[in-house]
């Protein structure tokens, strides 16, 4: 329901996995009762359920961290503590807990098994039919994200179903609207780079230009000067619907933006590259504007290792969010699943109706791994888009370190992460 909030890769967890885990629990608990063993083998149960049944399908380290957190939070002798009752979730409206065997007078004289079963059924019947995000450890904003995504999906399907002929906005017909959109984009497209100057400044070999679908050719098609092809038809449909052409998506960094917001993003990227070529490397790097951002961070580690004589395979990065050695400053990071306290420089619970927050400038510092000792910090994955990563690992840029005053399990269950591009 909540898509990838909490998970970085989509998994096909099903009813069979749940039933097998129930059988494992029944087997171990029955064996403990038969052997009069007062100690429940929590270690074995956590491993079989969290590491084998579900963890065996998890291919992402951060997803395994989620599973381990659930096991540690909800499995242990503390759930039977009578002095400090344990709640899986507690709020003024509803509480999730393990019912006790304290019964009223009407149930006295019944066998213990039937009493426990009756109490459990009665308690389950009292629970609400729909669950709120807080029950799973999420912020209430997760519900907003779910409805936003559903509305976006419906809107995209309605756009695909609309008539591709007739009048468009402002009384223009379809061809006039497409021609106007193409002309507007062409006016905003910056001139081509002087590749000779770029390669002379930074070194390298000459490259051949890439052939892309031309907006100029499309305008000629609309005027009847050139015949319509499949590529031109796809481009016209994308411009009419305000969407990015799939062929363009193959040549640009991963994005979920529509055509209008992507053009603005493209112009800002061009401004970044122009400044880099003409004025040198920027003091604060806009990481979201790089085509392959992880390559920039890798180069930072390589340059530092070469300068200090460190072994490359024993070096890493750590980060600090700002207000000696070689380091770089990056921007363009957005926090999802949490907020950032600028005054205390630490993670903060999300504000209502604020799904993402832009993070202040971050400092990235290369260091030898054995010298890295961090306290009160939590590793946070950085992804290109809100899709996070796929099964092949595409989408993960690097891992950052964020300060926190809360226990790490709180943020893990909130499904927090950093992304480079908003939708």
Question: Average pLDDT for residues 174-179, to the nearest whole number?
Answer: 80
Percent of the chain at pLDDT above 90?
Answer: 7
109 to 114, 117, 351: CA distances (angstroms): 10, 14, 52
Domain ranges of the chain: 3-132, 133-162, 171-278, 283-419
* Exposure of 351 in the CB half-sphere (CA atoms within 13 A): 7
pTM: 0.70
Q: Is the pLDDT of residue 253 over 70?
A: yes
Question: Average pLDDT for residues 143-163, to the nearest whole number?
Answer: 81
Backbone angles phi, psi at 295, to 5 degrees: -70, -35
Percent of the chain at pLDDT above 70?
Answer: 86
Q: What is the model's pLDDT at position 164? A: 63
Instruction: Give the range among 75-79, 88-92, 113-117 with minimum mean pLDDT.
Output: 113-117
Question: Average pLDDT for residues 163-179, to the nearest whole number?
Answer: 68
Contact 256, 385 (CB under 8 A): yes
Instruction: Write down the architecture of domain 283-419 according to CATH.
Output: Roll (3.10)
Q: Which residues contact 391 (CB under 8 A, 6 or more apart)?
A: 9, 59
Distance CA 276, CA 282 (A): 6
Q: Which residue has the higher pLDDT, 181 or 114?
A: 181
Residue 106 banded pLDDT, cuts 50, 70, 90: very low
Q: What is the mean pLDDT of the chain?
A: 81
Q: What is the model's pLDDT at position 131? A: 81
DSSP 131-199: --GGGGT--THHHHHHHHHHHHHHHHHHHHHS-SSSB-GGG-BHHHHHHHHHHHHHHHSPPPP-HHHHH
Question: HEC states along 22-67?
Answer: HHHHHHHHHHHHHCCCCCCCHHHHHHHHHHHHCCCCCCCHHHHHHH
* Exposure of 381 in the CB half-sphere (CA atoms within 13 A): 25
Instruction: Give the range among 67-71, 251-255, 309-313, 382-386 with minimum mean pLDDT.
Output: 251-255
Contact 322, 309 (CB under 8 A): no
Contact 252, 385 (CB under 8 A): no
pLDDT digits (tens, 9 = 90+) for 226-235: 777 777 777 7
Q: What is the model's pLDDT at position 113? A: 62
CATH assignment, 3-132: 1.10.8.720
Question: Average pLDDT for residues 110-114, to the nearest whole number?
Answer: 59
Q: What is the model's pLDDT at position 16? A: 92
Q: Is the pLDDT of residue 115 over 70?
A: no
Place of tokens 């994005």: 255
Instruction: Give the range among 165-169, 307-311, 327-331, 407-411 with minimum mean pLDDT.
Output: 165-169
Q: What is the model's pLDDT at position 132? A: 81
Q: Quick one: which of 164, 380, 194 has its CA closest to 274?
A: 194
Distance CA 70, CA 61 (A): 14
Q: What angle do CA 312, 313, 317 make, to 5 degrees?
A: 75
Q: What is the model's pLDDT at position 20? A: 94
């Amino acid at each position: 329901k909540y898509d990838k909030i909490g998970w970085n890769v989509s998994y096909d967890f099903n009813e069979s996995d749940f039933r097998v885990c129930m059988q494992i629990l029944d087997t171990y608990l029955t064996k403990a009762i038969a052997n009069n063993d007062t100690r429940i083998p929590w270690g074995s149960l956590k491993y079989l359920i969290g590491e084998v049944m579900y963890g065996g399908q998890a291919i992402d380290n951060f997803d395994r961290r989620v599973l381990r957190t659930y096991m540690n939070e909800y499995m242990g002798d503390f759930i039977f503590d009578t002095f400090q009752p344990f709640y899986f979730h507690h709020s003024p409206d509803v509480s999730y807990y393990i019912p006790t065997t304290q019964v009223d007078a009407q149930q006295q004289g019944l066998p213990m098994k039937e009493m426990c079963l009756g109490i459990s059924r009665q308690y389950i019947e009292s629970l609400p039919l729909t669950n709120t995000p807080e029950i799973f450890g999420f912020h209430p904003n997760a519900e907003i994200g779910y409805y936003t995504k559903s509305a976006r999906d419906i809107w995209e399907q309605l756009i695909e179903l609309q008539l591709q002929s007739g009048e468009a906005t402002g009384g223009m017909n379809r061809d006039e609207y497409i021609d106007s959109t193409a002309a507007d984009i062409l006016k905003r497209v910056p001139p081509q780079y002087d590749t000779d100057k770029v390669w002379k400044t930074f070194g390298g070999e000459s490259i051949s230009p890439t052939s892309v679908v031309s907006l100029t050719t499309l305008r000629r098609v609309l005027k009847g000067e050139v015949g319509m092809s499949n590529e031109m038809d796809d481009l016209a449909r994308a411009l009419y619907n305000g969407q990015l052409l799939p062929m363009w998506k193959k040549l640009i960094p991963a994005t979920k933006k529509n055509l209008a917001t992507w053009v603005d993003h493209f112009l800002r990227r061009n401004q970044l590259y122009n400044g880099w070529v003409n004025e040198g490397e920027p003091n604060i790097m806009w990481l979201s504007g790089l085509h392959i951002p992880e390559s920039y961070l890798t180069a930072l580690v390589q340059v530092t290792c070469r300068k200090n004589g460190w072994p490359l395979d024993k070096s890493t990065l750590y980060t600090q969010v700002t207000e000696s050695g070689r380091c770089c400053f990056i921007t363009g990071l957005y926090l999802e699943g949490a907020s950032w306290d600028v005054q205390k420089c630490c993670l903060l619970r999300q504000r209502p109706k604020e799904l993402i927050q832009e993070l202040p400038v971050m400092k990235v510092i290369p260091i030898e791994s054995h010298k890295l000792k961090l306290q009160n910090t939590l590793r946070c994955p950085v992804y290109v888009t809100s899709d996070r990563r796929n099964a092949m690992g595409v989408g993960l840029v690097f891992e950052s370190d964020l300060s926190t005053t809360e226990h790490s399990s709180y943020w893990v269950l909130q499904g927090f992460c950093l992304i480079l591009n908003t939708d």
